[in-house]
Amino acid sequence: MNGQTIKQTPRATSFFLASLIGAPVYSESGRQAGKITDFTLSLRNNWPCFDQAIVYDFDSLSEKIAARSSFNSFSPTNFTLGKSIHDLPAYVPKTEQPLASHIWDKSVIDTVSVRTVQVNDLEVVTDETGEIWVSGIDISFRGALRRLGLEPYLGGLLNSIGNFIQPEIITWDKIIGFNDQFSALTTELTSDNFQNLHPADLAEILEELDDSERLSIIETLDEDVAAETIAEADSETQLQIIEQLDTETASEIIEEMDPDEAADLLQDMDQDRAREILDHMDLDEASDVRKLLEHDEYTAGGIMTTEYAAIFEEFTVANAFSHMRLVAPDIEIIYYMYVIDNQERLKGVVSIRDLLSANPSVSVSEIMDDDIVSVRPETPQEEVATILNKYDYMAIPVVNDQQKILGVVTVDDIMDVMEEEASEDIFKLAGTSDEELTYSSPLQACRARLPWLLITLGTGFITSTILKYFMDEFKEVIALVFFVPVVMAMGGNTGIQSSTLVIRGLALNSFTSGDLFKRLIREIATGAVMGVACGLVVGVWAQYLITSGAASSARFSALYLATTVGLSMTGAMTFAAMFGAMVPILFDRFKIDPAVASGPFVTSSNDIFALLIYYGVSVVLLTVG
């Protein structure tokens, strides 16, 4: 809850709950009779106050409860009882007496930084009357150390680090989430708590909460705000929220979402549940969503929105503005107005800038751009992204065979596509998939990663077999074995560099058919130049190691062996650059995602080829020598 300012003036000195628990409790005679184990909280002026202490009695070996009036001194620096500890009643936990330590580890919302945080400790202060108030929460790592009792031992080290690991205090009036019983993030939250928060900030908060806490927030929001918030959240959070809402509430919220966002959400849901929600939606809203659901979700038809502005070609500029005022509240974009004929065929497009600079009496057909770039509903989303990026459009129309406009794909949809595609490629680089982010079971994660690791393990069997023959063949020249790891590593790294560049270029459609061959030649030449440079360096190092150790050969000079290592490095890196560039190009030609050719595939393959090249060069040179 939002707090009000404490009416009393707190002293400058602050303390922490973790430091008070375990504090000695003295009798009137000055003898330690027990220790503090906790405090009960009450709410005064919207600020928590310590009103009773839970005291462990050393004599009876039991917990007693002591009101503030039972103490002669009730302060963080001195707890002295005004009566015998034996006269205190036994402590019996009660719901209406929440304990201060129960706030530890609860999640609350910081309204200043707009984030969900965890309570690691409570900061407390005293006022002029001796009351002990909770002034804020400590969310820092230091607060957690304090609770574990490690701060006295690590305090000096933490202080030497400086501000890096200092208490991070959020004052009580800047957090929301507690009711009168100090239960975190309950249904007692009101929409007033969130009225100044952006839906994107609310969505970020939702993603950090558990299911019940998410619902407690969503249920306090107006339907339109709830719809915007859910639309900003990640797909997993969206599904979890909608699945837990009753059908009527879920349908009302989805009605307020843009049709394309609603279709994406329903497409990811259980189809029986999706149909149930659609049946409860407004007929017009449900009809728009059903049309979008007919298309594959990874095509222009699947990511387009049906909310756009269209005007007839006989409209004047003044008519266009009048129409815009009517439809603007219900459409997603107003950058462009699409011009159609009486058969609703797309004839052109006019931008708001064109309308603003034109004479109000002029027909829009005179100022429209009739050189229209459009896409079909089955166009892959990656191709749509490329077209929008090429022409710097804010939106692009989707048309059918009769040139009737079905919807538009907006730039924000394309940004989502680009992020999705980039994430997918990054996961493939690591030999896994983005679905693993949703896995909670280690077995599920293993199923996603293990296939590539088994392939890598298989290549390890091959390299170990080659290495066995290598050592058998050159057991008299053992120095050559020293450089097997570096030759393999440099080959693998070179291959990854080449494959990454080519894969990224293919993803962005930066290459034409002719450019691909030029790119391949350039990568081979680059690999050769880098191979020569690295070969010279490793050759010099090889000569130094061989001449300075006991691994020199009576049959071959150190220079000859160093030359063998250098030439092997050059050959391995040149081949790796060629292989790393060629495999993605071949995969792309056969309509296989080039990203599959990256990561473990290229690295493992290059390990084998680098070792074979090293083995081959060594055989040839040492045989000739």
CA 232 – CA 203 distance, rounded (Å): 6
Neighbours of 571 (CB within 10 A): 23
Contact (Cβ atoms closer than 8 angstroms) between residue 75 and residue 126: yes
CA 59 – CA 499 distance, rounded (Å): 75
Share of the chain above pLDDT 70, in %: 84
CA 587 – CA 594 distance, rounded (Å): 5
CA 415 – CA 385 distance, rounded (Å): 8
For the stretch 527-541, pLDDT in tens is 999 999 999 999 999
Q: Which two tokens stand for residue 14?
A: 């602050």
By CB atoms closer than 10 A (0-12, 13-18, 19+), residue 502 is: buried
CA 229 – CA 276 distance, rounded (Å): 22
CA 471 – CA 448 distance, rounded (Å): 36
The pLDDT of residue 199 is above 90: no
The pLDDT of residue 192 is above 90: no
Task: Quote the pLDDT of residue 318.
Answer: 95
CA 392 – CA 387 distance, rounded (Å): 8
Q: Which two tokens stand for residue 33?
A: 């009779």
CA 446 – CA 262 distance, rounded (Å): 33
For the stretch 36-89, pLDDT in tens is 999 999 888 778 899 899 999 999 999 999 998 999 999 899 999 999 999 999
Q: Name the pTM for this structure.
A: 0.59
Q: Which two tokens stand for residue 315?
A: 């409209």
Least confident of 130-139, 200-209, 319-328: 200-209
Task: Quote the pLDDT of residue 156.
Answer: 63
Question: How confident is the model over 418-445, as a mean pLDDT?
Answer: 65
CA 145 – CA 159 distance, rounded (Å): 13
Q: Which two tokens stand for residue 295?
A: 């298309």
For the stretch 234-281, pLDDT in tens is 888 899 899 889 999 999 999 989 888 899 899 888 889 999 999 999
Domains with residue ranges and CATH for the chain: 14-175 (no CATH), 187-294 (1.25.60.10), 310-424 (3.10.580.10), 447-624 (1.10.357.20)
CA 226 – CA 233 distance, rounded (Å): 11
Q: Which two tokens stand for residue 382?
A: 């990656």
Q: Which two tokens stand for residue 55?
A: 């005291």
Residues 156-195 as b/e (b if ≥16 CB within 10 A, e otherwise) read: eebeeeeeeeebbbbebbbbbbbeeebebbeeebeeebbe
- Phi, psi at residue 425, to the nearest 5°? -65, -35
The pLDDT of residue 147 is above 80: yes
Q: Which amino acid is at 177?
A: G
CA 558 – CA 482 distance, rounded (Å): 13
Neighbours of 229 (CB within 10 A): 27
Q: Token pair 């107003």 is at which residue? A: 334
Closest of 164, 167, 186, 170 to residue 114, by C-alpha: 170
CA 11 – CA 127 distance, rounded (Å): 6
Give 446's pLDDT tier (boundaries 50, 70, 90).
confident
Task: Quote the pLDDT of residue 44.
Answer: 83
Closest of 149, 164, 285, 294 to residue 227, by C-alpha: 285
What's the full length of the chain, in residues? 625
Q: What sections of 219-309 are H helices per DSSP?
A: 223-232, 235-244, 247-256, 259-268, 271-280, 283-293, 300-303
Pairing state between β 107-110 and 175-176? antiparallel
Give 187's pLDDT tier (boundaries 50, 70, 90).
very low
The pLDDT of residue 90 is above 90: yes
The average confidence (pLDDT) of the chain is 83
